[in-house]
Chains A and B, each alone.
Chain A
Amino acid sequence: MLEDKHNIKAWFYLAPAMVLLIIFTFYPIFNAFFLAFLRDFNYLQGTWEGFTFFENFGFVFRNPNFRDALTNTLIITFVSVPIAVIIALLVSVWLNSIVKFRGVFQTIFFLPYVTNAIAIGMAFAFLFNRNFGLVNTMLGWIGFSPINWVGLRATWGMAMIAFLVFTTWSSLAFRIMVFLSGLQNIDKQYYDAARVDSTRRYRIFRRITVPLLSPMIFYITITSFIGSFKTYTEVIGMFGERLGPPGNDRAMITMVALVYDALDRSGVTGALSEAAAAAIVLFGITLFFTLVNMQVSKKRVHY
């Protein structure tokens, strides 16, 4: 048991962290809501014209890039998250069922976790180069003619496919790590029992592995959704700050980019309120899908 109250002493220990958290985490959350409801806030002069409920959100929704940003963010999330979760699950089950070379494979599979998004994004851009990249060369071996993925005036569709390959590649490592540690914590008795009953492999996977791994699958799905809604640095890595192939600027814009676009205009009247409103919209979307995820998994997660 812990002893009696240590109120003053406890706050002495908490103080350094709490001071920083209050200034750089809690206050900013409240201030974001405050800024989002100010009318014509000019931060250089510190002035505003009263409050407004919808005006700043109106700026966000009427931003010519808003539709593209929302579409891209949703596509990136709903395509790459399910694919990456399924691949990661399969690969970690495979990896868990071999003995020889397991360490080597494990090290290789974890490598993408420690890469710099800008450095590896640039490498992917060159992999997808039309004339000098490896992807078109390999596609050429099976009879495809060169595709303009990310080059001058590349279409949105091609750029998106290339980008999805990149984000899936870079997000797999973390998921495999988590699944693998989950698999290693499953009691071997379940598998021994299944073996005695000579249960089929697929059935073992469906009836033992997936249910026992479900807390991990749930955790990974939620964090992947949250992470995916925040996609931005990866876009800069692959396409640079123009956020799209040359000649098709901003084709790959995401929701987070709207926040930073507005923040870059911080001196302009209303820009900071627009940035705050965009961040709140992003938060709302994230919260909505997190709650949906939690509802869905309530029935399916076995603890």
Chain B
Amino acid sequence: MAMSTQVVYGDEKQNRRKVILRQTILYTLLALFAIFVIIPFYWMIMTAIKEEADVFVSPPILWVNPLNWQFSNFALALERAPFARFMYNTVIVSMISTVGTIITTVFAAFAFARLNFVGRDILFMALIATMMIPGEMFVITNFLTVVELGWIREQTFTTALLAMTIPFMTSIFYIFFLRQTFKQIPNELYYAAKVDGTKDLQYLWKIMVPIAMPTIITITILNAMGTWNAYIWPRLVTQREEFRLVSNGLRNAFDDALGVTAYNEQMAAALLVTLPLLFVFLTLKKYIIRGVSRSGIKG
């Protein structure tokens, strides 16, 4: 009896040692991976606050004393290109396209989730199928279309905004995403509202939209982030420098005539573009993760 207790005790001790060892390895691996993820951000920040002379030192300076942080780099970066203007453009484009997208998406998702009409399932399958086609197939014709619509030649800020927003005012993925949320709202709610004489449109905006708010917030964030990162289309359709978006301004502004890059100012600008995104992510993480993981589960 005593012996068997001892054996069990020994086993437990060994087990605990094993658990501790496993935990240590696990946390070490995760910490190493975390360092791998953080390094680019760290290097961006460190470079952005260095004096120009300290950037071109080999081996590089790994840590800058907080007393020597050069916040003037941010001011210099903003002078290199009209970044304030680019950010203003980006915010405007983002707002217009997001509001437009939400409106078209809410209506379409309502029809797919709530109404019964001829060809609904076929149409829905056709929409899902087009999600697989690479965007480059659309870009060529869309470029010709915005030219035909007169949004390119003798471009004004208004036509530039139209060219950058109208083609993206709806999204099959968001319709699909919102339809899933709408479908979870019980039908009884709809019939109760019908009995009370509520019109469909009223029902949609007064009841369904508020219930689906978390999904709509997710769509808003993802859409705004998409605009913030857009590079190819705005570059293609804007005819004047001052109509461009932040990503466009970022890439070429920091090489001087001799091809030497002012890395500290370049990284300061990169940081200015990255910070709003990080801020949005950290405050609204829940909604972003929700949208992303939903897209995965439904795949």
Number of interface residues of B (CB under 8 A): 96
**In-complex Cβ contact of B250 among A7, A122, A185, A272 (8 A):** A122
B299 engages A114 (CB within 8 Å): no
B289 engages A181 (CB within 8 Å): yes
Number of interface residues of A (CB under 8 A): 106
> Which of B1-9, B67-75, B134-142, B211-219 is the contact stretch?
B134-142
| Residues in A whose Cβ lies below 8 Å from that of B141 | 27-28, 31-32, 35
* Docked complex Cα distance between A282 and B134 (Å): 8
A10 engages B111 (CB within 8 Å): yes
| Residues in A whose Cβ lies below 8 Å from that of B58 | 131-132
A263 engages B273 (CB within 8 Å): no
B166 engages A230 (CB within 8 Å): no
- Given A116-B277, A120-B274, A246-B259, A105 and B231 touching (CB < 8 A)? no
* Docked complex Cα distance between A259 and B59 (Å): 41
- Given A94-B26, A120-B274, A237-B251, A35 and B43 touching (CB < 8 A)? no
CB nearest to B269 among chain A residues: A119
**In-complex Cβ contact of A10 among B34, B56, B120, B281 (8 A):** B120
B107 at interface by CB-CB < 8 Å = yes
B287 at interface by CB-CB < 8 Å = no
| Residues in B whose Cβ lies below 8 Å from that of A118 | 229, 231, 247, 250-251, 270, 273
Q: Is the interface of A mostly helix, strand, loop or mixed?
A: helix
A283 engages B134 (CB within 8 Å): yes
| Residues in B whose Cβ lies below 8 Å from that of A3 | 116
| Residues in A whose Cβ lies below 8 Å from that of B139 | 28, 259, 263, 279
A94 engages B296 (CB within 8 Å): no
B247 engages A116 (CB within 8 Å): yes
| Residues in B whose Cβ lies below 8 Å from that of A58 | none
A276 at interface by CB-CB < 8 Å = yes
B145 engages A24 (CB within 8 Å): yes
Q: Output the least CB separation between A8 and chain B (Å).
A: 9
B274 engages A115 (CB within 8 Å): yes
Binary contact track B191-208/A, C-beta < 8 Å → 1, others 0 = 000000000100000000
A260 engages B296 (CB within 8 Å): no
- Given A16-B170, A116-B274, A126-B47, A169 and B36 touching (CB < 8 A)? yes
Interface residues of A in 6-23 (CB under 8 A from B): 6-7, 9-11, 13-18, 20-21, 23
- Given A18-B108, A119-B274, A219-B296, A230 and B134 touching (CB < 8 A)? yes
> Which of A47-55, A133-141, A202-210 is the contact stretch?
A133-141
- Given A178-B292, A259-B136, A117 and B229 touching (CB < 8 A)? yes
Binary contact track A248-268/B, C-beta < 8 Å → 1, others 0 = 000000001001100100100
CB nearest to A28 among chain B residues: B141
* Docked complex Cα distance between A290 and B37 (Å): 29
B37 engages A112 (CB within 8 Å): yes
| Residues in A whose Cβ lies below 8 Å from that of B266 | 122, 126
A111 engages B281 (CB within 8 Å): yes
**In-complex Cβ contact of B30 among A29, A105, A219 (8 A):** A105
| Residues in B whose Cβ lies below 8 Å from that of A181 | 289, 293, 296-297
Interface residues of B in 61-92 (CB under 8 A from A): 62
| Residues in A whose Cβ lies below 8 Å from that of B36 | 169
* Docked complex Cα distance between A259 and B142 (Å): 14
| Residues in B whose Cβ lies below 8 Å from that of A211 | none
A279 engages B40 (CB within 8 Å): no
List 16 additional contacts besides A123-B44, A286-B132; criterion CB under 8 Å: A9-B115, A16-B103, A28-B139, A28-B140, A94-B26, A97-B26, A109-B33, A109-B34, A114-B225, A116-B250, A118-B231, A123-B40, A137-B59, A178-B293, A283-B133, A283-B137
22 A-B residue contacts at CB 8 Å?
A2-B114, A13-B111, A16-B103, A20-B170, A25-B138, A28-B142, A43-B144, A105-B30, A107-B285, A113-B288, A115-B277, A116-B246, A120-B270, A122-B267, A123-B267, A126-B263, A177-B293, A177-B296, A181-B293, A216-B299, A233-B231, A279-B134
